[in-house]
Structure 1
Amino acid sequence: MDTVTEQAVKPTRRGRATQEAIDAAARKVIAEKGFLKMTVSDIVKEAGKSPASFYNYYDSKEALLESWARQFQEEARRRVSEGERGGDTRERVHAAARGHWETYREHLAEMVGVFQLAMINDDFARVWDELSREAVDGIVHGVSRAQEKGYCPGQDPRLVARAIVSMLHQFCYENLANGRAADADDEACIATLTEIWYRAVYWR
């Protein structure tokens, strides 16, 4: 009985390790080359695995990316929720900016991949729109509350939110993608995002 159990468990552990190696390799290749230029051959070469190993887990590099994107979405929701708790206005904006930056950094492969593929693939365009829409909806709520206190008068909350989200996405992409992540100053970037976001909303 024990021998059968061990034999059943070992392939699962081995399989999990193989998938983790493939995921890690794909993240590295995307960070260096971008998703559109990456091939399955690049991934398995980096991972030291065979192409058959890749296709045991994913039908394509797009399927791999979609799996990651859904995981990212849950993480982003959690961090946004945490950023809305407590503190004064600037502290909440700072927490939200930090949450976006750190989530983007930690999930750089997903964000770069979805962003690039959204330009040419309708399914991933919808994924990108969904990710952006959730961020916009959260900021709309904050802008509306600020307007109740006299800030940001006469502005459309949703347009303001879209402008902020576009800034967040593009700023993170420009400072982290294409091999630039190692040189990015996290605290300086977060401070810059905070200042621009805060000044975009909290003015009279």
Structure 2
Amino acid sequence: MRSGDGAGGQAPLTERGARTRERLLAAAREVFEERGFLETRVAHITGRAGVAYGSFYTYFPSKEAVFLEVADRLFADMTGHALEPAPGSSPAERLRHANRAYYEAYRRNAKMMAIIEQVATFNVEFQEMRRKHRADSAARSAQAIARWQRDGLVPPDLDPEMTAHALATMVDRSLYLCLVQGDEADAGRLLDTLDALTVRALGLPT
């Protein structure tokens, strides 16, 4: 559900209602990051937003619903990085740009990513939304890999879709351990290593 929609597919909100809904979403994210999903209550969210408890249900049917929208927006931010930063960039330069854009997005969202890992263990609806965002992102990467194969830059025996998923998993897990779990790693060295591994795995010229 996107901002400006009524709860449950109702008529569009007034301008005031849209502002209230945005306050609830911002407050929900803050509270989720502080308390975690399981310990968060609707009352915590409405108290932080300065909104009457009952008004919450004008905009969201449940705590789960507001969490799903917060996560949906986060994933859009996380996976919106492009492989083409500037005309004329080489594939290796595009990959380096994408890795750094993803790192910056991950760093902005690290607290919420920790909560997302928690919810991913038990909420089926959330798991499906997460899977869709990852699949959409991997599909864009797979298209780039296939294009580079047609240009003779990437070996033709690599499966573009599986390669995109495998490389995305490597980057994602490395950043999770660094930014969420707090593993000591110099960000510059980590990104340089991820760049090198990605470029070499694809056989791209540097």
Common fold by TM > 0.5: yes
Report the aligned-residue RMSD: 3.7
Deviation at 1:22, TM superposition (A): 2.5
Partner of 1:157: 160
Aligned ranges 1:1-204 → 2 under 5 Å:
14-72=16-74, 74-75=76-77, 78-80=80-82, 83=85, 86-107=88-109, 111-112=113-114, 114-148=116-150, 149=152, 151-152=154-155, 154-177=157-180, 190-202=191-203
Letter in 1 for 2:168: V
1:144-182, CA deviations, whole angstroms, 9 ceiling, x for partnerless residues? 34445354564333222111121233233333447x6xx
Partner of 1:5: none
1:119 aligned counterpart, secondary structure: coil
1:73-124, CA deviations, whole angstroms, 9 ceiling, x for partnerless residues? 5556653365485411221001211232333444557655555433322222
Determine which structure has the larger helix proportion and give its number.
Answer: 1
Give the direction of change, closer, same or farther, for the CA distance of 1:45–1:141 in structure 2 (3 Å limit): same
Instruction: State the identity as a percent.
Output: 30
Q: Is the 2:28–2:67 contact (alpha carbons within 8 Å) kept by the matching residues of 1?
A: no
Give the direction of change, closer, same or farther, for the CA distance of 1:151–1:16 in structure 2 (3 Å limit): closer
Letter in 2 for 1:195: A
Letter in 1 for 2:195: T
1:155 aligned counterpart, secondary structure: coil
Give me the whole-angstrom Cα distance separating, in 2, the residues matched to 1:49 and 1:151.
Answer: 55
2:81 aligned counterpart, secondary structure: helix
2:146 aligned counterpart, secondary structure: helix
Letter in 2 for 1:22: L
Q: Is the 1:117–1:124 contact (alpha carbons within 8 Å) kept by the matching residues of 2?
A: yes
Count of matched residue pairs: 191
Deviation at 1:186, TM superposition (A): 6.3
Q: Is the 1:86–1:92 contact (alpha carbons within 8 Å) kept by the matching residues of 2?
A: no
Deviation at 1:194, TM superposition (A): 2.7
Q: TM-score, normalised by structure 2?
A: 0.68
Bigger RCO of structures 1 and 2 (CA < 8 A, at least 6 apart): 1
Give me the whole-angstrom Cα distance separating, in 1, the residues matched to 2:185 and 2:55.
Answer: 34
